[in-house]
Amino acid sequence: MNHRDDFPIFKNRPELIYFDNGATAQRPQSVLDAEQKFYTTYNSNIHRGPNFLAEEATIAYEDARRKVADFLGAHHKHEIIFTRNATEAINLVARTFGETLQAQDVILLSKLEHHSNIVPWLQLAERKDLEIKYMGLSTDWRVRFDPALFDERVKLVAITGMSNVLGTITDLKPIIKAAHAVGAKVLVDAAQLAVHEPINVHDLDADFLVVTGHKIYGPTGIGVLYGKEGLLNSMPPFLGGGDMISAVFADRFIPAALPSKYEAGTPNIAGAIGLGAAIDYMTKLGFKNIQKSEHELGTYLLKQLQSLSFVKIVGPETMDHRGSVVSFTVDGVHPHDVADGLSSKGICIRAGFHCAQPLMDHLKLSGTARMSLNFYNTKEEIDKGISTLEEIYKYFNK
């Protein structure tokens, strides 16, 4: 599958080798066009002015919400709340659903979580005197499902769908089932998963699920919280201000109905419209094609890395239960030096803790280098990455 030409950055920088898709994906022209069209032909605030321009903008914004609902398999479009990113979506749940929890309740996380799915819960635990517990790491580098951890004290399980460090994909269904059996709700962090695997919130029976726009070819500054209708209706509002109210009096207010209840103030209208265009783009390519291409590239990358005696892959060595996000270490070379060496040859990777310090502590690592591939990467790029790794290793181990 070669859709590289859809991405202007590769035309503007023909030498660029971009292996940092786990941090943010590149944007196709259609996403840029959708945002520009909004600003240049129907820019207006939404849900407010009774005029034709506001109406056009509102229709486009709400149409984007419909696209997200379809993309995630949500039954109702009002179960989709636009946020700034995945981080804000998780914080929204912590500040609303979280406020209903009582002292000594347990929140169950996993050792594989990104800081975005740890820190809001640590903050909440401090405010409400809760206990945080962790599911460990299985021998196949996935979240270890330990039924013994699920009891009546557990009120929320917040868990990643795909590790941003190891690339492994969580077997979510047994965990969600076990959580529901003890009356706990489940939040799925799909920030990494959503670009690699189709998601259906109903099939999963997830209570909350978060996505970030910029990792699925959409703009920055736009994210999504999916929540089951009943839950979203039962929780208090998040931020206060315009749009999230149906009436305001001098001494009280009545919150708006979903989804406005959780979208205070002027939202990122262009961002939502751009995200809708990104979903259109992915839908047109088709997940089957995207996955086939990433599976091939991931398999090739893993094989090439394994051929280097001085490289250790941190994660599974085959593409079973994993996406094309690959962490590794290089003997005698700090991950930051690996990234610097590759960068000097025009190759972008990520190095360090990857916002997952508890996982690094668990693995007793001071960091990894990470190559994360999307479908537009090529085997030739991987070859250049591998030969540059050989040069870097030789340079540091003279």
Ligand X SMILES: Cc1ncc(COP(=O)(O)O)c(C=O)c1O
Q: How far is the CB of 135 from ligand X (least distance, A)?
A: 15
- Complex with ligand X: residue 221 or 341, whichever CB lies closer: 221
Among residues 359, 217, 317, the alpha carbon closest in space to that of 275 is found at 217
Question: Taking CB under 6 A as the rule, does residue 87 contact ligand X?
Answer: yes
- Complex with ligand X: residue 56 or 197, whichever CB lies closer: 197
Question: Taking CB under 6 A as the rule, does residue 327 contact ligand X?
Answer: no
Q: How far is the CB of 275 from ligand X (least distance, A)?
A: 12
Among 189, 243, 263, 381, binds ligand X (CB under 6 A): 189
Among 114, 196, 228, 370, binds ligand X (CB under 6 A): 114
Catalytic-role residue among 201, 355, 373, 382: 355
355 in catalytic set: yes
Among 91, 110, 160, 293, binds ligand X (CB under 6 A): 160
Q: Where does this chain touch ligand X (CB under 6 A) — which range of 12-20, 38-46, 113-121, 336-344?
A: 113-121
Maximum CA pair distance of the chain?
Answer: 74
Question: Residues 41-80: x/- map of binding to ligand X (CB under 6 A)?
Answer: ----------------------------------------
- Complex with ligand X: residue 87 or 268, whichever CB lies closer: 87
Among 26, 58, 85, 110, binds ligand X (CB under 6 A): 85
Contact 325, 195 (CB under 8 A): no
The DSSP result for 144-180, as a single string, is ---GGG-STTEEEEEEESB-TTT-BBP-HHHHHHHHH
Buried-exposed string 236-262: b where 16+ CB fall within 10 A, e elsewhere: ebbeeeebbbeeeeeeeeebbebbbbb
Rounded Cα gap, residues 262 and 141, in angstroms: 36
Question: Taking CB under 6 A as the rule, does residue 329 contact ligand X?
Answer: no
The amino acid occupying position 333 is V
Burial of 150 (0-12, 13-18, 19+ CB in 10 A): buried
- Complex with ligand X: residue 20 or 243, whichever CB lies closer: 20
- Complex with ligand X: residue 25 or 319, whichever CB lies closer: 25
Q: Is 317 left (phi over 0), alpha (psi -120 to 50) or beta?
A: alpha
Task: Residue 288: count other Cβ atoms within 10 Å of its Cβ.
Answer: 9
- Complex with ligand X: residue 191 or 339, whichever CB lies closer: 191
Q: Where does this chain touch ligand X (CB under 6 A) — which range of 41-49, 110-118, 266-274, 296-304?
A: 110-118
- CA atoms in the 13 A half-sphere facing the CB of 190: 28
- CA atoms in the 13 A half-sphere facing the CB of 170: 34
Rounded Cα gap, residues 219 and 143, in angstroms: 30
Among 191, 194, 222, 359, binds ligand X (CB under 6 A): 191
Among 26, 212, 368, 372, binds ligand X (CB under 6 A): 212
Contact 308, 288 (CB under 8 A): no
Among 21, 26, 96, 164, binds ligand X (CB under 6 A): 164
* Two tokens, residue 374: 């999307």
Q: How far is the CB of 223 from ligand X (least distance, A)?
A: 6
The catalytic site residues sit at 355
- Return residues touching ligand X (CB under 6 A): 85-87, 114, 116-117, 160, 164, 189, 191-192, 212
